[in-house]
Amino acid sequence: MKRSDVGIVMPVYNQVPKYLRMAIKSILKQQSYTNFRLVIVLDGADEQTKNIVYNRTRADKRVHIIDNKVNQGVAHSLNVGFDYLCQLPNIQYLTWVSSDNIYYPRFVERLRQGLINSSVDIGLVYSYFYFMDENDKILHDCSNDSKMVQSLGKHRPLDKEEVLDLIPVGPSFMYRKRDAMLVGKYRRRMLEDYDYWLRMSEVTGIRCIPIPLMAYRRNTEHSVSRSISSLHGHRRWRNVKQYVIREARERRNISTELTIIYVAEGRRNVLSEVENLLEGIYTNFTIWIVSDRQGEVKEKLKLIPDPRIKILPYRGPHVERVYQELLKEVNTPFTLIYSQGLKVHGFDIYFLMKRLKGEKVPLIRSIKRTQRLKKLLDQNLTLINSLNHTSKLREDMLKS
């Protein structure tokens, strides 16, 4: 028997018995490549969950079980599991799996082979995946954005800056132990994997294996997707994500590109308008929210905490004067003045910024977006690098 060169960690808290049995079976009984070690970390699991794990793995010598008596979270469980695996000299490739997903027979084989066949500067590979509901039904209604993000890196390794806004790595992945030793521990509750991929992208390259290798169970009782499906949960998740991205930019010495000046006076929908900006896939901006009622605005914005928001006092007798004064203080290459009467989404900013920087990204996705972006420029919602830049952008849009 060959020595195992792949190490897998499965953190387990409490899980629906059926899902747990299926997940374990898909790894231990159905994989085409079998030379791996599986570490199951019981993280304060109840007796029913423990019994399933022990009963389903008792006869398999590839399995090592670590029983944490108190629940300490996914990051801690992953660190405990990988600490064990990294002490085994033959382990060269690492991944982790969830206790409610299903992993297809070539999951381990194809990811491992993807790393072996890649150049030495590629340390992380990922594949496509399907969404699955609580009844094991495969869902095919993935959003266009999910498809777009998944396709990144299909034909070439990802650029290290692309992953900041469009991290494509989902729940199907594998990486070299060599690079894991450089990256360090998992951390950041709710975004353990996202934070880890950003840090890994700083030490190695990433590429895609464009085939689905597993099914990700969505919005079930113990799933992460359910915990962030509520409005409050999503806002918490988004806030943590922005702190993770900001830390990554600081590590890479990347400065903020865009300042958005938003005068809150006279607006009825401050919360929804600001949140629309925060929801986009482009994130390298700061929002200056200007108001002479700072206390009231701060109270509203407590619902959407975000490190990109800065609240400033209203200065001047009229809004034009406020813009003039604030523009003197802007130190980013681009500025956007969010004037009254417009609706702007974060996705609009993504397309505009890409085009302003001369990047070949499709700008127009729909007639409504075309009209909105033209109106955005025409009414002096101004992206300022130079007036010529803005005029040329509008010409390009009119030709689209």
Contact, 41 vs 12, CB < 8 A?
yes
Question: What pLDDT, on a 0 to 100 scale, did the predictor assign at position 168?
Answer: 78
d(CA 171, CA 282): 22
d(CA 292, CA 50): 58
Mean pLDDT for all residues in the chain = 84
Write out pLDDT tens, residues 137-161.
Answer: 988 544 333 444 444 445 455 555 6
Amino acid identity of residue 41, one-letter, is V
- How many other C-beta atoms are found inside a 10 Å radius of the C-beta of residue 207? 22
d(CA 270, CA 236): 19
- What proportion of the chain, given as a percentage, has pLDDT over 90? 52
Class of domain 255-399: alpha beta
Token digits of residue 34? 């079998």
DSSP state of 302: T
Strands 173-176 and 93-96: antiparallel
> Can you give the residue ranges of every domain in the chain?
6-240, 255-399
Question: What pLDDT, on a 0 to 100 scale, did the predictor assign at position 171?
Answer: 92
Its CATH architecture, for the domain 6-240, is Alpha-Beta Complex (3.90)
Question: What pLDDT, on a 0 to 100 scale, did the predictor assign at position 346?
Answer: 78
- Residue whose token pair is 């747990």: 20
Q: Is the dihedral of CA 219, 222, 225, 226 positive or negative?
A: positive
Write out pLDDT tens, residues 293-343.
Answer: 888 888 999 999 999 999 999 887 788 788 888 888 999 988 888 877 667
Write out pLDDT tens, residues 69-115.
Answer: 899 999 999 999 999 999 999 999 999 999 999 999 999 999 999 99
Helices (H), strands (E): how many in the chain? 16, 13
Question: What pLDDT, on a 0 to 100 scale, did the predictor assign at position 376?
Answer: 60
Question: What pLDDT, on a 0 to 100 scale, did the predictor assign at position 96?
Answer: 97
Span of 40-49, 126-135, 262-271, 363-372 with lowest mean pLDDT: 363-372
Do the domains at 6-240 and 255-399 have one common CATH topology? Answer: yes
Using alpha carbons, select from 14, 84, 7, 82 the residue that is nearest to residue 42: 14
